[in-house]
Structure 1
Amino acid sequence: MPNASKTDWDRLAKQADKDIDTSEIPELGDAFFEQAELHVPAKQSVTIRLDADVLAWFKEQGAGYQTRINQLLRQYMQAQLSRKGR
């Protein structure tokens, strides 16, 4: 699937933090963090059938494999939604 974004992700990945221009991004002060609230999307428990080798590979990556599977599914979902929105 081609990259729908026109962002040069390879160049950005190689860029050092010190070279990123953050001058237009305001600092978030203590007041912001005192009032900030964390909103975690609701999770739903499901049963899903995966190929044994796929599941084994994710488990080999260590703790959090279910979260990583969810992240990949979300990225796929967002890519499909973007394609439909063209």
Structure 2
Amino acid sequence: MSGHRIVKRSLGSPRTTRTDWSKADAQTDKDIQAAVASDPDAAPIADEEWFEKARVVEPPSKAAISIRIDQDVLDYFKANSARYQTKINAVLRAYMEHEQGKR
């Protein structure tokens, strides 16, 4: 058993925090930008050129069907992915695109 104490709270009880929000609220945009610039792990922000080239792509619609698949094939996909139906669709799409490229 760990030495951590379990505390029960109700929705009505006030939550306590050790965060000094007044310090965070006092930061200016310049302070935040300087902190981000000095952080080596900060992801780069997309530049304006990206926004000009970006476009919305609608995913193709999906049809609900009933299909018979060998049990071991289904078991394999279910065991290797929580989104096994999406994986099966991706495999079928790759096969379809490969076959279309032959024409």
Instruction: Give the alignment's TM-score, normalised by structure 1.
Output: 0.56
- Give how far 1:36 is off: 4.0
Matched, 1:45 2:78: no
Greater relative contact order structure (CA < 8 Å, 6+ sep): 1
The reply on whether 1:63 has 2:82 as its aligned counterpart is: yes
CA distance in 1, matches of 2:83, 2:94: 17
The separation in 1 between residues aligned to 2:101 and 2:83, in whole angstroms, is 27
Unpaired stretches in structure 2, ≥5 consecutive residues? 1-45
Other-structure match for 1:72: 91
Q: Between Structure 1 and Structure 2, which shows a larger proportion of helix residues?
A: 1
| 1:27-73 C-alpha deviation (Å, 9 max, x unpaired) | 7528728x742411101101100000000000001211101100110
Cross-structure match for 1:54: 73
| Max Rg structure | 2
Distance 1:41 1:61 in 2: 24
* Change in CA separation of 1:44 and 1:28 when aligned onto 2, cut-off 3 Å: farther
Alpha-carbon spacing, 1:58–1:31, altered in 2? closer, same or farther (3 Å):
closer
54-63 or 35-44, larger mean C-alpha shift: 35-44
Alignment: residue pair count: 57
**TM-score scaled to structure 2, two decimals?**
0.48
Q: Are the equivalent residues in 1 in contact too, given 2:78–2:84 (CA < 8 A)? A: yes
CA RMSD across the alignment: 2.4
Letter in 1 for 2:78: K
Q: Which amino acid aligns with 1:55?
A: L
* Structure 1: unaligned runs, 5 residues or longer: 1-26
Question: Kindly, what percent of the aligned residue pairs are identical?
Answer: 37
Report the residue type matching 2:83 in the other structure: G
Runs of 4+ in 1 over 4 A off after TM superposition: none
